[in-house]
Amino acid sequence: MTETTRLTTAQALVRWMLAQRSQLLDGTEVPLFGGVYGIFGHGNVLGLGTALHAVRDELPTWRGQTEQGMALAAVAYARATDRRQVMVATSSVGPGALNMVTAAGVAHANRLPVLFLPGDTFIGRAPDPVLQQVEHFGDPGLTVNDAFRPVSRYFDRVTKPEQLLSTLPQVARVLTDPADAGPVTLALPQDVQAEEYDFPVAMFEPRVHVVPRVRPDRDALAAAAEIVRGAARPLLVLGGGARYSGAGADALSFAEAHGLPVVETVAGRTLVPHDHPLYGGALGIIGASSANNLALEADVVLAVGTRLQDFTTSSWTGFAEDVRIVTVNAARFDAVKHNAHAVVGDARETVGELGTAVGEWRADAAWTGRVAEHKAAWDGHIDTLRAGGISPDGSLTYAQVVGVVNDASGPDDYVLTASGGMPGELHGGWRTGKVVPGATSGATMDLEYGFSCMGYEVVAPWGAAMARRQTHPDGLVTSIFGDGSYLMLNSELYSAAFAGHPYVAVVCDNSGFAVIHRLQTGQGADGFNNMLADSRGPGADGSVAVDFAAHARALGCEVVEVPEDGGLDELRAAYLQARETAVRVQRPVVVSCRVHHSTWTEAGAWWETGVPEYLSGREAYDDAKQRQVRWL
């Protein structure tokens, strides 16, 4: 007879989560679920909340201030663990649940696993309509949680306790499978959370989830090897899939054995040391001209673990018209894009097998030598930007901020940003030092440019700091972002300060949404509603300003201010002081500085945006459209 134990639905779910384990890249076994971010309301406080309280020492629950903020921290946690561990985000039904939908979109676009547990309305419907319920006249079963469906890789509404027996294995599959990884949503009606059932004890036996390493099809691999051997100018592109597979070192060995230049996408950044002779830089619109020049010259592109989004391909003007693309990807969905020759399989294993299939073949030395030529020119450009004196008024620039953080960071440190112009400064200007794989891939950067979610970079260091303290206890997380992102989602600075998680947040005040102002005016439009100075209201004259230092102090953070007229030396001193303080006080430290709003790091690539015919930028738009590669 099957042994059972009587539990509520919420208790069973929590006990199951406790039983799930995960294996890191070095074989270390850790909990699959690192913890819970929670804001309680009437839809989850009694059922799920009491179940979590009973196991608070084994599965810690951290209190957020906004549902979106805590859920974005969960997304950053997944990236910082190379998708080997997952955070849970729970809220009540209604506005709390809907606030998490944006974070689910971030997780979905970036292929990152998060478990969302929003409360839901009563299945029994006896008290309907309940507080926060949105009624649909023609579908009484539809709730706000159905908004999660487009941004979830797996969605279920738990209407009976025994439903967990069939749905939880699917939850684990999506959270741990490299081809399907992404957000999971389990909508939990509050009456069902409290309903009891005799669950089989076997359901709660410990289970270790080892990420599967799918081997490629032999024929597809052989054909890929033939394409690579026939290349005169092959280029290796490393994306996020290479990171999550732990394939960085193997891919670099492949490049060394066969003489391929290597470039990185936004998600694959920091897998290759900057000073490696085959490293060509960061690819794409916000990347480096060195990588983009190599991409334009390449006749075969071997794209490992990337979905080749528009910022990587320069809206498909970044490659030669007759380029052959070979993709290596765990997900067939991504592998078959853009008329590529698809090799479906784990990045690390496939690159190794492809190297064997290619044999002794090497690319022409003259092509390989192009890397040094292109990179030297880009490095000289970055050196000039970092040295200063290039902004019109001599004030600090974004490149200088990145340079200061870069110079002070070691192989255990971690840097992140998202949205706006700062990803271009980090992607194109950052120089990766020593890469140290182990329990993690060795990657030290998180650029959220899959969904480009403003505010992510303000709260993500909280999640990243929690994750990195397990594998890199001597490292420090730094986030760099603008005043627009700070104003959008700053409340989790208090959450991190309250919880005692240290990191450094560098706030670059440029008085507006400067990167969109650049896009606007760069196409010939008037500046409008982006910079504070061209927005509606009496405050546009500068009389209504935000004191970011005072605000951050009010949220419990330590603050180091760079003087209004401070230069590179003052910035460097402030950042070094912030690093020391964060470690000493064990909470966030905010560095506040002014930067010039329009002095950027430019890679010279094109990005397609809709340009009306009456704007001056339309001529360049039409020209670029003629160069755009279109796949049949």
What's the confidence (pLDDT) of residue 462?
98
pLDDT in the model for residue 632: 47
**Quick one: what percent of the chain has pLDDT higher than 70?**
100
Domains of the chain: 4-209 (3.40.50.970), 218-375 (3.40.50.1220), 388-594 (3.40.50.970)
Q: What is the pLDDT of residue 631?
A: 65
What pLDDT is attached to residue 590? 98
Cα of 472 vs its chain's centroid, Å: 19
Asked if the peptide bond before residue 129 counts as cis, ω within 30 degrees of 0, the response is yes
Distance of CA 23 to the CA centre of its chain: 21
In the DSSP assignment, the letter for residue 531 is B
What is this structure's pTM? Answer: 0.98
Give Cβ neighbours of residue 127 (< 8 Å, ≥ 6 apart).
none
Q: Which amino acid is at 116?
A: F
SS3 263: strand
Low-confidence stretches of the chain (pLDDT beneath 70): 631-632
604-616 burial, b if ≥16 CB within 10 A, otherwise e?
A: ebbeeeebeeeee
The pLDDT value recorded for residue 388 is 80
What per-residue confidence (pLDDT) applies to 610? 93
Instruction: State the Rg of the chain over Cα.
Output: 25
Residue 388 region by backbone torsions, left for phi larger than 0, else alpha for psi between -120 and 50, else beta = left
User: Cα–Cα distance between 288 and 312 in angstroms, integer?
Assistant: 11
